[in-house]
Amino acid sequence: MVVLKLGGSVVTIKNGIMQSRKGAINRLAKAIAQARLEQPGLSLILVNGAGCFGHAVVKKHEIKDGVRTLEQKIAFADTHWCVNQLNQIIVRALLDAGVPAIGLPPSSLLNQENKRIANFDLTKVRQFIEFGMVPVFYGDFVLDSVQGGSVVSGDQIVPYLARELKATRMVFASDVDGVCDSDPKTNPNAVCVRLVCEKNKYEVLAKLEGAKTTDVTGGMKGKINELLEEAKITPIFIVNGNRAKRVQKALLGKKVKGTLVKI
């Protein structure tokens, strides 16, 4: 079992308004299909980030810190509608590539408590996997017992699924080559760290900066913080999603340019 996260910055034009990167999505879909052909027994779950389909709406309507008013509830539903559109674009590309993908909305399957996953009904997920299908989740806006509603990011969903479904590895397709000692988008001399382990994790975190375009789910430092505990159980590969072949290799557990997080 492998859980793959397609970063929002890979599948969308992040500063755009509901603009997907269809070429990148199609290339990734074909790479995923090829990995399944190469390893027919590969069980796979996908999670796509929301990118510009979600973050802009959340910021515009100021619902990051809770949903109370009618206007905010409409914004909640609007955010879900927007991110669902992106998910359907990705699912369509996967289907066209020969992958039996099915989009599953987190808002229908999980609840949060103060912005953290409180419960997640995985019954249908397990059934789809056993049936040989590929569930595709996404960053979404969900019910929250404290906030009313809150964002559940793909970076929360991936480790939760990996832990509960006992994945052998997690793969994160980002828009950079891996975890770097500074932001490679602003520093051309940034060096990517090939291994984040118990010995160097604090040093790496100290050097990390927020992503060049900070979204409502945090930059690279926030993402790594989210994953460190899980990396004690399940190894994590972070690769450049703009290089579809690297994603394919990572899915198959092959040697690939990127960062391995293993604590």
- Whether the pLDDT of residue 250 is over 80: the answer is yes
User: Tens digits of per-residue pLDDT, 18-70?
Assistant: 999 999 999 999 999 999 999 999 999 999 999 999 877 777 778 988 999 99
Please give the CATH architecture assigned to the domain spanning 2-172+235-254. Answer: 3-Layer(aba) Sandwich (3.40)
For 106, 144, 149, 153, the CA distances from 67, given in Å and listed in that order, are: 17, 9, 5, 17
Give the pLDDT confidence score for residue 181 in this predicted structure.
80
- Output 61 or 236, whichever has higher pLDDT: 236
Give the pLDDT confidence score for residue 210 in this predicted structure.
53
Q: In Å, how far from its chain's centre is CA 261?
A: 16
**What average pLDDT does range 6-24 have in this prediction?**
93
Residues with Cβ within 8 Å of 38's Cβ and at least 6 positions away in sequence, in order, are: 248, 252
Residue with tokens 């914004």: 75
- Output 215 or 84, whichever has higher pLDDT: 84
Domain ranges of the chain: 2-172+235-254
- Whether the pLDDT of residue 104 is over 50: the answer is yes
Q: Which of 6-10, 74-78, 199-203 has the weakest average pLDDT?
A: 199-203
Residues with Cβ within 8 Å of 209's Cβ and at least 6 positions away in sequence, in order, are: 182, 183, 219, 220, 221
User: Tens digits of per-residue pLDDT, 150-179?
Assistant: 999 999 999 999 999 999 999 999 999 999
**What average pLDDT does range 110-123 have in this prediction?**
98
Give the pLDDT confidence score for residue 208 in this predicted structure.
76
Give the pLDDT confidence score for residue 145 in this predicted structure.
98
Average pLDDT of every residue of the chain? 92
**What average pLDDT does range 186-200 have in this prediction?**
90
Confidence of residue 209 (pLDDT cuts 50, 70, 90): low
- Whether the pLDDT of residue 8 is over 80: the answer is yes
**What average pLDDT does range 232-248 have in this prediction?**
97
Reported pTM = 0.92
Rg, C-alpha atoms of the chain: 17
